[in-house]
Amino acid sequence: MSSFLSFKGKVWSGYIIAFLLLLVSYFLIFYTMRESIQETDSVTHTYAVINKLESLKTQINEAETGLRGFVITKDDRFLEPYHRAIGELPHTRAEVKRALALDTDQQMKFDTLENLLERRVIRMRESLAAFIANDLAISDSMRMRRESTKNIMDSIRIYVDKMQDVENHLMIERKDKLSGLFDNTQVVASISLIIAFITLCYSLIVFTAENNAKQRAIQKVKEYSAALEKKVAELQLSNHELQELKSVEKFTSTGRIARTIAHEVRNPLTNITLATEQLQEITADNKDSAVLLDMISRNATRINQLVSDLLNATRFAQLDFHNADITRLLEETIDLARDRIELNNVKVEKFYASEPCIVSVDSEKIKLALLNIIVNGIEAMEKNNGTLQLITKKNGNKCIIEIKDNGKGMDDNVLQNLFEPYFTSKIKGTGLGLTNTQNIIFNHKGTLNVMSKPGEGTSFLIILNLVA
């Protein structure tokens, strides 16, 4: 009886200890996940504040550019962006003010910024009224205000930059904390798995003498293990999705920066073009002036094309989806690169899946993305000594395409900047090929990963959804 009670006490004590440890681990996981959600919300809020501050600066610049264009050309169309920006400013200011409601320091800076914005808006309205009243001629009062107006705009930019710097620093801190929380979650999950393993071993040892009790204990441990494995799988999936989200977020940020750059470049470029056209009409008989003005016009057109290329490489585009076999698309892409392959005497090795990999894609866009990767691989390999491998396989509902070369490879610095616009290690490269490739893959809801080491070649891994 005493031995039975001792055995039963061991069983119950084992259950109680395991239950308490698991309860603590689940509580820690719950707490960490809740903190992670709060930090994610904080990071999102910081991004929103930075974007709204950038919108303020863009709107006041757009208003000033529109007014300047009207003064230069006397064309009423330039007043459309001016009036639109002036109308949007109060709403954007109100959004920023609400977003900074809990930050006293930033509120004080924003109060000063609001005062500067109000002064600049009043100056622009007064200048417009004076210009119209003076029969569309620049008055002396407008000339006298140029320097003070410039100082106000400089102050606005300085205050916006200061506030964005504060938010960027805050965002970095919050991202670091969020990363730490994810690390803690993984540690807690690992501890939970260890607890489950210990509980299983304890149960197997203790219930050797009594088969029925042992079976019940094993069943319970299996249930705990399944629950823990499910949690771990969910955490791993969340971590993978977070990595993909970071890549998309980086691409979106790059596109937003590209649009801002395009806006800031095209506004003065429009003024240059208009002024050049007017000067060409005025100096039509002067050959020297005509040559110089033609040079200005051609280079303005070239700048505009470069801006357009950047926007196209970072913009989500409309696609013409239809079902296609990825093997056929790879073969067609290889045919497009046939001249380069033969010129460099590259050996092509194909390891295609035995079953067709049918995906819903825009064939021409996907072939362009594949061609960019293949051409990069050919150019990275030594002539007469290159081997290009094309691999396809199925993994669940995913189609995996791997393109490998035995070229010179890339270091970590190049890998980190590989998809950045205008980043290139080629002498004649534009730096937009892989940016456009990443854009195409993201448009297809796919993922693009790169693995490379110096001297060991490079492998591009593309994952697309199979057609159900």
Residue 386 has pLDDT above 70, yes or no: yes
Quote the mean pLDDT of the chain. 78
Residue 5 has pLDDT above 60, yes or no: no
Measure CA 7 to chain center: 60
What is the spatial distance between Cα 239 and Cα 231, in angstroms, rounded to a whole number? 12
Residue 210 has pLDDT above 80, yes or no: no
| Domain-embedded: residue 224 | yes
Q: What is this structure's pTM? A: 0.40
Residue 259 has pLDDT above 80, yes or no: no
- Please indicate, yes or no, whether residues 240 and 345 belong to a single structural domain of this protein: no
245, 265, 289 - which closes a domain:
245
Residue 104 has pLDDT above 80, yes or no: yes
For 252-256, 336-340, 395-399, which range has the lowest pLDDT when averaged over its residues? 252-256
pLDDT tens, residue by residue, 317-347:
567 889 999 999 999 999 998 988 999 999 9
| Segment 145-168 mean pLDDT | 83
pLDDT tens, residue by residue, 211-231:
676 788 788 888 877 777 877
- Please indicate, yes or no, whether residues 225 and 341 belong to a single structural domain of this protein: no
196, 230, 245 - which closes a domain:
245
What is the spatial distance between Cα 229 and Cα 241, in angstroms, rounded to a whole number? 18
Residue 44 has pLDDT above 60, yes or no: yes
What is the spatial distance between Cα 155 and Cα 304, in angstroms, rounded to a whole number? 29
- Please indicate, yes or no, whether residues 35 and 182 belong to a single structural domain of this protein: yes
- Please indicate, yes or no, whether residues 336 and 207 belong to a single structural domain of this protein: no
| Domain-embedded: residue 436 | yes
Residue 461 has pLDDT above 70, yes or no: yes
| Domain-embedded: residue 283 | no
431, two tokens = 């730096």
Considering only CA atoms, which of 70, 72, 92, 71 is closest in space to residue 80?
70
pLDDT of residue 389: 92
- Please indicate, yes or no, whether residues 460 and 374 belong to a single structural domain of this protein: yes
Cβ-proximal residues to 462 (8 Å cutoff; 6+ apart), any chain: 369, 370, 400, 401, 402, 403, 441, 446, 447, 448
What is the spatial distance between Cα 279 and Cα 344, in angstroms, rounded to a whole number? 51
pLDDT tens, residue by residue, 268-290:
767 677 777 777 777 767 777 77
- Please indicate, yes or no, whether residues 66 and 184 belong to a single structural domain of this protein: yes
- Please indicate, yes or no, whether residues 232 and 337 belong to a single structural domain of this protein: no
| Segment 293-300 mean pLDDT | 74
192, 221, 245 - which closes a domain:
245
The amino acid at residue 1 is M
| Segment 151-176 mean pLDDT | 82
Cβ-proximal residues to 383 (8 Å cutoff; 6+ apart), any chain: 344, 345
Tell me the residue length of the chain: 468
- Please indicate, yes or no, whether residues 80 and 220 belong to a single structural domain of this protein: yes
CATH of the domain at 430: 3.30.565.10
pLDDT tens, residue by residue, 185-207:
677 667 767 766 776 676 667 65
pLDDT of residue 2: 45
| Domain-embedded: residue 253 | no
- Choice between 60 and 259, residue whose per-residue pLDDT is larger: 60
Range of the domain at 18: 2-245
pLDDT of residue 3: 46
- Identify the band that residue 435 occupies on the pLDDT scale cut at 50, 70 and 90: confident
| Domain-embedded: residue 366 | yes
For 49-53, 160-164, 431-435, 442-446, which range has the lowest pLDDT when averaged over its residues? 431-435
| Segment 150-177 mean pLDDT | 82
Q: How many domains does the chain have?
A: 2
Q: Give percent of the chain above pLDDT 90.
A: 12
| Segment 171-176 mean pLDDT | 78
| Domain-embedded: residue 135 | yes
- Identify the band that residue 117 occupies on the pLDDT scale cut at 50, 70 and 90: confident
Residue 316 has pLDDT above 80, yes or no: no
Residue 265 has pLDDT above 80, yes or no: no
With 0-12 / 13-18 / 19 or more C-beta atoms within 10 angstroms meaning exposed / middle / buried, residue 342 is exposed
pLDDT of residue 239: 60
What is the spatial distance between Cα 190 and Cα 199, in angstroms, rounded to a whole number? 14
- Please indicate, yes or no, whether residues 23 and 167 belong to a single structural domain of this protein: yes
For 16-30, 132-146, 437-451, which range has the lowest pLDDT when averaged over its residues? 16-30
271, two tokens = 């003024």
pLDDT of residue 207: 57
pLDDT of residue 105: 85
| Segment 235-254 mean pLDDT | 58
pLDDT of residue 330: 92
DSSP state of 317: -
| Domain-embedded: residue 432 | yes
Residue 429 has pLDDT above 50, yes or no: yes
pLDDT of residue 1: 44
pLDDT tens, residue by residue, 359-385:
998 888 888 889 989 998 898 898 888
| Domain-embedded: residue 281 | no
For 20-29, 89-98, 160-169, which range has the lowest pLDDT when averaged over its residues? 20-29
